[in-house]
């Protein structure tokens, strides 16, 4: 496709009318949007008319007050995202966990059957572990286990 004088004049006319490069390319035929943009640039055309604004403002979409979560599942090389509407559920406030006084033991005193809940800043000299009895096979005492192992719904809240 070559730019002859007739096509250039038609391009200038359509450009000054405010048509987009895609619309001009469709009108001229046999030319791409990028070719139109390149030719406009080379010709130094500017000051094109603005597209006519809509006389009536278009209505806005109504936004529902729901929470959207996305679920991603991979199928081969594609990732499919599904949008799921979920209502926000207000969870009751959980009761405060009462933590009994601990023995505060050092790392050298840790052994099987004592609570390993860290207390304080590990970089400070007063750092210690809880040290309360927790029974065989458990990592934390009952009070610290209620904090560490929360039900699934409580963590989402």
Averaged over successive runs of 10 residues, the pLDDT of the chain (157 residues) comes to 87 89 90 92 78 65 57 51 55 55 82 88 88 84 82 62
How high is the pLDDT of residue 25?
92
Q: Exposed (0-12), middle (13-18) or buried (19+): which is 116, by Cβ within 10 Å? A: middle
Q: How high is the pLDDT of residue 88?
A: 55
Confidence at residue 113, expressed as pLDDT on a 0 to 100 scale: 87
Please give the residue range of the domain that contains residue 148.
107-156
Predicted confidence at residue 23, as pLDDT, reads: 92
In a domain, 62, yes or no: no
Asked, for residue 32, whether it belongs to a domain, the answer is: yes
CB of 8 closer than 8 Å to CB of 36:
no
DSSP 58-104: PPPPPPPS-EEEEEEEEETTEEEEEEEEE---PPPPPPPPPPPP---
Residue 19 forms part of a structural domain:
yes
């Amino acid at each position: 496709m070559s730019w002859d004088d007739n096509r250039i004049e038609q391009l200038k006319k359509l450009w000054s009318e405010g048509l987009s490069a895609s619309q001009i390319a469709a009108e001229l035929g046999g030319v791409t949007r990028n070719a139109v943009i390149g030719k406009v640039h080379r010709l130094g055309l500017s000051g094109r008319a603005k597209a006519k604004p809509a006389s009536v403002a278009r209505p806005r979409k109504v936004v529902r007050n729901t929470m959207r979560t996305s679920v991603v599942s991979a199928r081969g090389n594609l990732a499919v995202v599904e949008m799921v509407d979920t209502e926000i559920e207000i969870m009751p406030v959980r009761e405060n966990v009462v933590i009994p006084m601990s023995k505060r033991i050092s790392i050298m005193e840790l052994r099987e059957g004592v609570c390993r809940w860290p207390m304080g800043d590990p970089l400070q000299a007063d750092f210690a572990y809880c040290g309360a009895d927790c029974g065989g096979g458990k990592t934390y005492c009952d009070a610290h286990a209620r904090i560490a192992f929360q039900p699934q719904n409580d963590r989402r809240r």
